[in-house]
Structure formats: C-alpha cells, structure tokens
Structure 1
Amino acid sequence: MRVVTRLAPVPRTLWPRPLQDVLEGSRADGEGRENLFGTLAHHPPLAYAWLGLVRLLTHDGLLPARTRELAVLRTSHRLGSAYVWARHAEHAAPLTGLTGAETAAVGGPVADHLWSAADRAVLEAVDELVADADLSDDVWDRLSAVLDEPRVVELLMVVGQCATAGMALRALRTPVGGTT
C-alpha cells in the first residue's frame, strides 16, 4: 500500500534562512532530517521553539545517550512512528552503542531480551506512559532507583516530545526517506 503524504515538506529552497541555518548546524545528526525540517517549515515559529527543546533533550540533556535512545525507539515503536523509528534506529542508536540486536529487541516484548535492570525500567516506563499516560508505583520505584530526579523528569519529557513528534509526523504521513 502506498502512503500519500498529507502535507508535503516545503522544499529547502523555500525555508526561512534561520531554519536552513538550524539544519546546517545539525549536520552531526546525519542525513534524513530534511523531511522533518521541511514539514516544520510550514510553521516556522513552532519549528524554532520545538527544535530548541529537541536539541536540549537529544544533545544537551542529562540522560545517558543509551537511555534516551531506548526511550525514543520504544516510544516510536509503540506509537507506530516509522519516521522517528527509522531516524533513530539507523543513525542515533548505533552511535550510543546499542547493537543491532538490541535495537531490534526494543520492538519486541521486554521479557524476550536480557535487558539490564536500568534498561528494563526505562522500557517498561515507556510502555506504561504510552498506554496510560502514567506510571505505576512499581515502575516508578524501579525507574527512580536507576535515575536521579532530574533524569526521571527528563525521561518523561523525552517520551512526551517523541510521542508528539511521532504522532504529528505519522498523521501528516511525512516521508521517511528522500530529501526535499
């Protein structure tokens, strides 16, 4: 089945200069960001604000990179966000040391892989947040045993911003591959 983009990304040549500059400044994130930026170019003030938060959470935050990527991958898998999954599984996850087998296991039942206690707590927290927008006391206790308070708060925000982006990109049918 062919998926039709609902809101085609704005061609890069039509982006406001500041948005082009942000893309240039994010070269370290690898290829494939253009469709995300092109989609955001439909609303430049939102793009700047949201990209600032994303930069904090993905580059300047307190969470270990592996923990952040597990949360992003699990959230995107649970919400069916092909764009976010592809970007992170192909580019970001390997840079954090996640193996191909671990990345694949993120998409399966948590019990089917020998995760560390910390990884399991993160994955189960994502599952509960996506399902119920809340955490059980058991998962909260296990999560707070492996992350300090600022990192727990950041993890909740990573899951929330990933869900927001994933839902928007999925609903807009933003293409995963190709460039504008």
Structure 2
Amino acid sequence: MTAELPEHPVRITPLPPEQWTPALRALLAGSAKDGPGRVNLFGTLAHHPGLAQAWLSLARVLTHEGTLTGRQRELVVLRTAHRRGSSFVFDRHRAVAADAGLDSREVAATASPLAEHPWSAHDLALLEASDALAAGEPLPQPLWDRLAGGLRPDQLVELLILAGQCATMCATLGALHTPPDGGRTPSG
C-alpha cells in the first residue's frame, strides 16, 4: 500500500501547532505515545476545532479504550486504509501494528489478496469485513455469523464504527491531499 499517488496540491494547508486551540495542542501532546505522523492530521482538523475535538475523542476511544485487541484493531485499520487507497493512514499505522503484535509479513499481507497469506479464521473474518465495509457493501450473513462467533456485541459495534471512522479519515485526507508529516507526497 505504499504506492505513491501523483503529487497534487494540498487543498487545505494544515495549520501549524501554534495556531491550534490549546485543547487541540493538549490532545496532540496527550497522544504522544501514538508515535510520529500526527501533526498534519491534527493541523488539518484544526481548521474546525469543535469537530477536531469530537473526532479525536472518538479516535482515542477506538485506539486506547476500545474492546477490540490491538491486533484486531490494526488489521481493520490497515485493510481499510489499503482498500481506500490511503498510504497516509496505512503508513502511519505500520509501527502501531507492529506494537500490536503484527509482524512485517502480516502488515504487508493486509495490502495483498487475502488468499496469499495463511490468515487465521478470525483474522480472515475481520479482513473480509473490512473489505466489505470499505466498499460500502452489506456484510453477508455467513460473514456476520463468523464475526459474531468470535466477538461480543460491544466488539461487533466497535468493529463497524472503527471501519467507518477509518474510511472517513482516509477519504478526508485523500480529498484534501494532506501530506504526511515531513513529506510532500500527499496521498490521503
């Protein structure tokens, strides 16, 4: 998923941290454990402070207070980012995925045809659900049954919201041509 898109002009330039609200700066500082690569994301959201705080509060719940395991979460994020063509989100989550226990082969396999990797039945169900949700397709009942066989109701709800939140961020960053931190290759 690291294929570079042709360079496009940034449509809304991310604001520098000194122009952010104190609350947004505090959110960035408080999420330092999430690693680098968040300044342009936050700087883009800083154009709408109220929405930024709400969005980032949801993201915090999904990434730090959620009921899915880190591995489950990162499989969904990586696959959704791949399916939505977002190298910004995919590349940003490589290190997060490694911290969540995915090895480099597994990270790479999330951006490949699913049959090319020996996924566990549970991982495969999450990845197939991510594919369907990223495409805006309904989850077929057999897939839902497989998911429900391994996840509690709260985790099923979280899975759906996580995939939607990720797809929305991929679309937003891509439409705005937001560049990665330190980079000039905008790719959403």
TM-score by length of 2: 0.92
RMSD: 1.1
Shift in alpha-carbon separation, 1:132–1:2, aligned structure 2, 3 A: closer
Q: Encode CA deviations 1:29-76: one digit per residue, 9 max, x unaligned.
A: 011100000000000000000101000001100001100000000000
Runs of 4+ in 1 over 3 A off after TM superposition: none
2:67 to 42, 55, 62: 62
Matched, 1:99 2:93: no
Between the two proteins, the alignment pairs up a number of residues equal to: 178
Deviations 1:86-137 (A, max 9, x none): 1101x21110010110000000111110000110000001111122332001
C-alpha contact 2:75 2:126 (8 A) present in aligned 1: yes
Report 1:1-180 matches (<5 A).
Answer: 1-89=6-94, 91-178=95-182
| 1: CA distance, partners of 2:181 / 2:48 | 21
Distance 1:11 1:50 in 2: 19
1:18 maps to a residue whose letter is A
Q: For residue 2 of structure 1, report the CA deviation from its aligned partner.
A: 2.2
Residues 10, 39 of structure 1: 8 Å contact kept: yes
- Secondary structure (helix, strand or coil) at the match of 2:101 reads coil
Q: Name the CA distance, whole Å, in 2 between partners of 1:112 and 1:176.
A: 29
Q: What one-letter code is carried by the residue in structure 2 that aligns with 1:55?
A: R
Q: Which SS does the other structure have where 1:97 is aligned? A: coil
Deviates more, 1:143-152 or 1:36-45: 143-152
Taking the aligned partners of 2:42 and 2:69, their CA distance within structure 1 comes to: 26
Unaligned stretches of 5+ in structure 1? none
State the Cα distance separating 1:18 from its structure 2 match: 0.9
Matched residues in 1 for 2:163 and 2:117: separation?
21
Note the residue ranges of structure 2 that are not aligned, 5 or more in a row. Answer: 1-5, 184-188
CA distance in 2, matches of 1:31, 1:68: 19
What CA distance in whole angstroms lies between the structure 1 residues aligned with 2:59 and 2:181? 21
Deviation at 1:177, TM superposition (A): 2.8
